[in-house]
Structures are given as structure tokens and as C-alpha cells.
Amino acid sequence: MNTPEWVLQAAKPVSEEALKKAQRHQDQLTKPRGALGRLEELAIRLAALQENPYPTIDPIQITLFAGDHGIAAKGVSAYPQAVTGEMVRNFANGGAAINVLAEALGANLEIISLGLVNDPGALPGVTRLSLGSSTADFTKAPAMGPEQLVTALDVGCKSVERAFASGAHLFIGGEMGIGNTTAATALACALLSEEPEVLTGPGTGLNSDGVERKSALIRQALTHHQVFNTCPAPIEILRTLGGFEIAALVGGYLACGQNGLPALVDGFICSVAALTALRINPSISPWLFFAHQSAEPGHLRVLAAMDADPLLSLGMRLGEGTGAAIAASLLRSACQLHRSMATFDGAGVTDDVSAG
């Protein structure tokens, strides 16, 4: 398929002048230079992206995309496919982990349903944009048709554009979809030319037999679509092996770079979406921050491919954007320290290491 023209639009450039000003300001704060470690780096980077000597991540926008996967019918998850729809209802009722964390952050939470087998119907606070009950079984056919993919990408893009227009300073994407670690692993194998046995993990809690079955199905899909032989374009790999919610995340990350809105990338599935977005449009790289290294074994390999240094490693594998929501507190602290600490001159503190 042809790549939509908008996805190739260059990202907003980073201000080198703002970067230098932020560095000078950070060096004047009442502490030894570098004493706050990566918090200093994060504040300086955000200041450069926002062209603001006193950066902020507030308000925060969290958008969670949900969609079902045809491959789930082959038993690649420890949970039945109906759980996707049940969890969307749970999100609407405020009972999921991401609801709790969004409230704690004071973040705006948006839920977008893109196509569910067990669709719970209209729910308060949930936008329904059905692209089909699920993607196709990618061992037999491409997961999405061209129109489905373009629509999913656009949904992600529009969600970021709404966030940007509303004044958000940080975007967090989340996902829900039984079977989506299988889709993400297949995508990662194709993008990294890696064997399924290396990247396939337990997802929601498969035993060793389940992991082996999942890996075999991914290999079947890669072979069926001749991915390693034909080396298709990243967007075609996304269409062939991805999911509605993964494609929406890709569109969202692309739009973050293009609109100048920093994105905090969650765990394995979101990182694979980020890798896909970077392969489509490398210019968005400065706008992506990486929240945590998940317990999914393929995540470390995906992060390494992007030279990403995640902020946390907590053994999490929940999804929903939860790891990013927790890491957002670190970004907030970095900004508060950068903005509110006194300078040496202002506090009357000697900035002369030889004086002691």
C-alpha cells in the first residue's frame, strides 16, 4: 500500500538555543553539577522541546486504544478474547489501574474502542470507532486492509491533535487487546529481522507450552507473508502483522513529533509501536521518552534498537499505559526541580568548588 503523505511530514525541530539556555540554568542551581543525574537531563531536554526555560508536563493527556486480534482465537493469550470488551467496560467505570493512576496524576483519560469481538456497546467516556470486530488472523491474511490501517493511524493522529489543541504538555498512549503481545512480537521480529524464539514471551501469563505455540504461530505468519524474503516497507509490515490499537499508537507518536508534543512511551507493545513509527519517520525520535523496561523478554531488544534508555525497571507487564503513568511522576519532579530550585546567586551560595 502507499504510505499516507501526512505520516512522512518532518517532526518539529528541537531548539538548540533553548537547550543551551536550559543547560546554563541547570548549572546555576544550588547543587553540584550533575548531582540530580538523569533528572537534569530530562528537564533540559523538555525545555529544549518546549522552547521554555521552565518546562512542564502538565496537563497530561492519556489516550488508551482498544482493539481485538484475529490471532487470539488460536490461544495465544492466557485470557479469553472477551476480556478486551470487559476491560473497556472497566475503564469506563473507573476500575482499572490506569484509571487510578490517571486520577493520581490529574491527567485527562480518553478511551477509544477501535473494534471488539465482545463489544459492550455505548459507554460513558468511551469513543467507539469500529474498524471491524477484530483484525484478521495474520497467519492466513494481512491483519488489516489498507483502509483499516489508514483509519487507525488517523485516529491516533487526531487524538494527539486534540490533546495539543487543549494545551497538553505530555502524551501517554495506552493499549488494550487480548493477543496484542503476539502482534507486537511479530512486528518486532519483522522490523528487527529477529527469530520468534528470541523475542516471544508469556504476555499475560502463558506457560512454556503456550509460549512455544505462540512463537510457532508468529513464525507461520512471517513465513506466510514472506517477510524476511521480501523486506516490505515498515507501514506494510504494520498492516500485515499489527493491530488496530497498535496502528493508532503509531499514528499518535508520529503526530506527537509533528505537533511538538512530547510522548512518554509505555512498555513492550507501545515500544514496538514507537519502533514502527521511527522506521516510518525517523525525525520524530527526539520527541519520544521511554518510561520503563517491562518483564516481556523482547522489550530489551526493542529498546536497544531505538537506543532508548528507559526511566524505570519494575518488572511490570500490565499495559494500559500504566508504566508510563508511573514514570510521569519522575518527569514532573525533574521539571519542578529545574523550575523551583534557587540559583547560587539568588541564594547567596558560593559556586566555587575550590573554596572548600
- Look at residue 356 and tell me whether its pLDDT is greater than 70: no
Judged against a pLDDT cut of 90, whether residue 306 lies above it is answered with yes
Please check whether residue 1 is in contact with residue 146, taking contact to mean a CB–CB distance below 8 angstroms: yes
CA-CA distance, 320 to 174, in Å (whole number)?
Answer: 4
The per-residue pLDDT for range 289-305, each reduced to its tens digit, is 999 999 999 999 999 99
**d(Cα 94, Cα 27) in Å, to the nearest integer?**
43
Residues 187-198 pLDDT 10s: 999 999 999 999
Active-site residue among 40, 110, 296, 320? 320
Lowest pLDDT segment from 113-117, 271-275, 344-348: 344-348
CA distance 257 to 286: 8
Residue with cell 524474503: 229
Q: What is the pLDDT of residue 353?
A: 56
DSSP string, 330-351: HHHHHHHHHHHSPBHHHHT---
pLDDT at 355 over 60: no
Which pLDDT tens digit goes with each residue over 116-149?
Answer: 999 999 999 999 998 999 999 999 999 999 999 9
Catalogue all structural domains in the chain, each as residue range(s) with its CATH number. 57-340 (3.40.50.10210)
| Residue where the block lists cell 524505570 | 312
Averaged pLDDT of the chain: 95
Percent of the chain with pLDDT over 70: 99
Confidence check: pLDDT of 42 > 60: yes
pLDDT of residue 87: 97
Angle between helices 234-241 and 268-280 (to 10 degrees): 140
Average pLDDT over residues 37-41: 96
* Residue range 19-32: mean pLDDT, rounded: 93
40 assigned to active site: no
- pTM score, whole prediction: 0.96
Q: Report which of residues 350 and 268 the model is more confident about.
A: 268
Mean pLDDT for the stretch of residues 266-281: 98
User: Does residue 88 contact residue 66 with C-beta atoms inside 8 Å?
Assistant: yes
Q: Tens of pLDDT along 154-166?
A: 999 999 999 999 9
Checking if the pLDDT of 352 tops 80, the result is no
Q: Residue 214: what are its φ and ψ, rounded to 5°?
A: -60, -45
Q: Among residues 150, 156, 152, which one has the least CA distance to residue 172?
A: 156
CA dihedral over 103, 159, 269, 275, signed as positive or negative: negative
CA 10 from chain center: how many Å?
A: 19
* The pLDDT value given to residue 345: 84
pLDDT at 13 over 90: yes
